[in-house]
Structure 1
C-alpha cells in the first residue's frame, strides 16, 4: 500500500508552489522525512493546514520530490498517467507526423507534469529514463498508460538514480520487439545510428537537433570545421552534409572513433576523408597551435564536468579559458558555436563567460544566434531555470 502523508510546507515556499513551481526541495518542507518511503504520495499543506498540491517523494540531485497536481481530488493512478502522457503526445503531433525526423522527446519530466520521468522516441521504439526510486515505483502504471496512448514497437528503460548509496546508470529491454542495434533514425533528413541497450547514452543528444540543422544549413558550405568533445560526431555529420571542405572531430573517449565512423557510414560519408582524433581536447588545442592549424567554425559542447589524469574541467569555472584556447585556432570572421547543458547557471551568466574570454584576449565579437531547448523539450511555464541548454553562435570580428 502506497503511503499518503501530509507534509507541511514552509511559508516562504507556499507562494512558489501555488504559482506552479514543480520541484519540492528539502528546504521547503517542515515535516521530518525520516519515515517517508520513496514513491509516497505527499499532500502538501501550508502552515495553517490548507491544501496546496499533491506531490510524490523521490530523491534526486535536484530535490526530494515533484508536484503532480494542484487538484485535491485528483488521484495519482493509471487514469492520471494516461492523461499526462496523452497531453504530452498531443503536443508532439507534428513530430510524429514528420517524415524526415524519427527521434524526439515525447515526455520531458517536469515540463510535462511529472518530474523525474523522461520518455524518448526512436523510430517506433520508446526509451524511458527514471531519475529517482520514487518515480520508478510507479513503473507498472506508467508503462501501461504509455501502451494505451501510443503504439509501442519496443520498450527500453534506463535507471539513473541512487539506491543504497550506489548510483545506478543501467538500461535494459522491457517489452515488445527487441531492437536490432544500431537502430537508424532520421533527424531533419540526416541519419544517425543509436543503441538503446549500450550504457547511459544512445549515441545522439536529441536536444541539439535544431543546432545541428543550423550548422548544416547555414554555417558549413565551403568551411573547415573543428568539432570538440565530439562524442559520436553528430555535428561533424551535419557539417559534411552541409558542404564543408573538411571536418576534425576530437574526443578523449576511445569509443568515439568507431562510433564516429559509424555515424559517417550510415550517411554514406567517406570517413577516411575526415579527421578523427582520440585525444584530450586541451592537448589538441596545443597541437593545433604548434602546427598553425585554424578553423572557420569550432563547435564547443563540453560536459559540465570532466576529470582526467592531468586536470579537471568544469564549465562553471573553466569555460572562459576554453574559449580563449579556441580563439587561438579560429580564423578571423570565423564562428564559435559555444554550448553547455550545465543547469547551475543561466544564459545571462553564460554570456558573461563569453564576454570575459573575448575581453581578456582583446578580441571583438558578435553574438549572431542563440538557442535553448527545442520544442519537444517542454519546460515549466515561467521557470526558465529548467531550460538547461544554452547555445550561442559567436562571430569572431577581428
Structure 2
C-alpha cells in the first residue's frame, strides 16, 4: 500500500504548476516532507488549500518528484500508464513504420507526461531508463501497460538512481528474448551497432539524429572533419558516408578505438583511411596546432561535465574556451558544429559563449543553422530544461 501525503506548495511554485510545470522542487514546499518511501503519492495544494495536482515522490538531480495529473481522483495504476503510452506511440507513428530509422525515443519523460522515465526503441527491442526509485516503484504497472499495447522482442532497463544519478550495475534484461549483440539498427539509413546489455549507454546518442543527417547530406562532401569527444564515432560515420575527404575522431576513452572501428566497418567504410585517436581532446588541440593541422568541419559535442587527469571540463563554465581551441584549428570559412546537452543554460546563453569565443579569437562568424531535440524527444513548453539539446552550426568568415 502506497503512502499518500498532502503537501502545501508555495505561491510562486503553485502558479508554475498551474501552468503545467511538472517538476516538484524541494524549495517549493511550505514544509519539509516527513521521512517517506520513494513512490509515495503526493497530493499538492496551494497555501489556500486549493488542489493543484497529484504526483509521486522520487528524488533525482532535478527535484523530489513529478506531477502526473491534475485529476485528484485519478489512480496511478496500469490504466493511467496505458493511456500515456498510447499517446506517445501515436506521436511516433512515423518512426514505428519507418524502414530508414529503426532506433528512436518512444517515450520522453515529462514531455510525454511521466517525468523520470524514458523508453528507447532499437529495432524491436526496448530500453526503459528509470531515473529515480520513485518511478521505479511503478515498474510492474508500467510494464503491464506496455505489454498491452505494443509488440516487442525483448525489454532491457537502465537504472540511473544511484547516488548522484549514477548507473546501477545489474542485469539489464527484463523480459522477452535476449538480444544478440551487437544489434544493428538504422538511423536515416546509416547503420549503428548497439549494445543494450553493456552498461548505461548503448553506443549511439539518439537525440543527435537530425544533426548527423544534416552533416552527412550538406556539410561533409570533400571536407576534412574533426570529431571531438567522439565516443563511438557516430558523427564521423555520418561524415564519411557523406563524402568527407577524411575524418579524425578523438576521444580519451580507450574503448572508443574498437567501437569506432566497428561503426565504420558495418557501414562499409575503410576505417584505416580514417584517423581514430585515443587522447584527451585538449591535448589533441595542442598537438594539432603544433603540427599545423586544420579542418574544414569541427564537431564539438562534449559531456556537460568531464574529468581527466589534466583537465576538468564544465560546459557551463568552459565551453567558451573549448570553442576558442576549435576556432584555432578550423580553416578559413570552415564550420564548427557546437553542441551541448547541458540543461543549466539557455540557447541565448550558448550564443553568448559563441560570440565571446569568436571575439577573443578575432573572428567574424555567421550562425547558419541550429537544432534542438528531434521530434521523437517530445518536450513541453512549461518545462524549459527538458529541451536540453542545443546545436549551432557556426561558419567562420575570412
TM-score bracket for this pair, using the shorter chain length: over 0.9
Match of 1:337 in 2: 337
Secondary structure of the equivalent of 1:170? coil
- After superposition, the C-alpha distances for 1:234-258 in whole angstroms (9 at most, x for unaligned) are 0000001100110000000000000
Counterpart-to-counterpart distance in 2, 1:162 and 1:278 = 29
Q: Deviation at 1:167?
A: 4.1
- Aligned-pair distance for 1:192? 0.2
What stretches of structure 1 move > 4 A for 4+ residues in a row? none
Which residue number corresponds to residue 43 of structure 1?
43
Tell me whether 1:80 sits opposite 2:80 in the alignment. Answer: yes
**2:43 is the counterpart of 1:18:** no
Instruction: State how far apart, in whole Å, the 2-side matches of 1:336 and 1:104 are.
Output: 26
Is the 1:60–1:162 contact (alpha carbons within 8 Å) kept by the matching residues of 2?
Answer: no
- Mapping of 1:1-398 within 5 angstroms? 1-162=1-162, 167-170=166-169, 172-398=172-398
- The answer on whether the counterparts of 2:60 and 2:165 sit within 8 Å (CA) in structure 1 is no
Displacement of 1:120 in angstroms is: 0.3
CA contact (8 A) 1:117 1:135 kept: yes
Distance in 1 (CA, whole Å) between partners of 2:324 and 2:83 is: 49
Contact 1:160 1:170 (C-alpha < 8 Å) held by counterparts: no
Q: How many residues of Structure 1 are paired with residues of Structure 2 in the alignment?
A: 397
Whole-Å Cα distance in 1 between the matches of residues 66 and 300 of structure 2? 33
Is the 8 Å Cα contact of residues 9 and 44 (structure 1) preserved in structure 2? yes
Q: Could you give the per-residue CA deviations for residues 181-217 of structure 1, whole angstroms, max 9, x where no partner exists? A: 0000000000000000111100000000000000000
Q: Is the 8 A contact 2:4 2:40 kept in 1?
A: yes
Distance 1:202 1:190 in 2: 16
**Quick one: distance in 2 between partners of 1:283 and 1:59?**
38
CA positional deviation for 1:166: 8.8
Unaligned runs of 5+ in 1: none
Residue 34 of structure 1 deviates from its aligned partner by 2.5
Report how far residue 170 of structure 1 moved.
3.1
Contact map agreement 2:61 2:165 (CA 8 A) in 1: no
Separation of aligned partners in 1, 2:66 and 2:383: 14
**How far does residue 98 in structure 1 lie from its aligned partner after superposition?**
1.0
Secondary structure of the residue aligned to 1:73 is: coil
User: Structure 2: any 5+ residue segments left out of the alignment?
Assistant: none
For 1:353 and 1:32, the matched residues in 2 are separated by: 38
**2:340–2:389: 8 Å Cα contact kept in structure 1?**
yes
| Kept in 2: contact 1:101–1:188 (CA 8 A) | yes
- Please state whether the residue corresponding to 2:331 is helix, strand or coil: strand
Which whole-Å deviations, capped at 9, do the CAs of 1:65-123 have from their partners, x for residues lacking one? 00000112211111000001111011100111111000000000000000000000000
If the length of structure 1 is used for normalisation, what is the TM-score? 0.98
Whole-angstrom distance in 1 between the partners of 2:248 and 2:350: 26
Secondary structure at 2:238 match in 1: helix
How far off its partner does 1:140 sit? Answer: 0.6
Secondary structure of residue in 2 paired with 1:37:
coil
Measured at CA, do residues 166 and 108 of structure 1 come closer, stay the same or move farther in structure 2, by a change above 3 Å?
Answer: closer
* Partner secondary structure for residue 324 of structure 2: helix
Cα-to-partner distance string for 1:22-81 (whole Å, 9 max, x where unaligned): 000001112332222100011111112221100100000000000000112211111000
C-alpha deviations, 1:241-295, integer Å up to 9, x for none? Answer: 1001100000000000000000001101111111000001111111111111110
- 2: CA distance between counterparts of 1:162 and 1:173? 18
When residues 238 and 167 of structure 1 are mapped into structure 2, their CA distance, relative to the original with a 3 A threshold, is closer
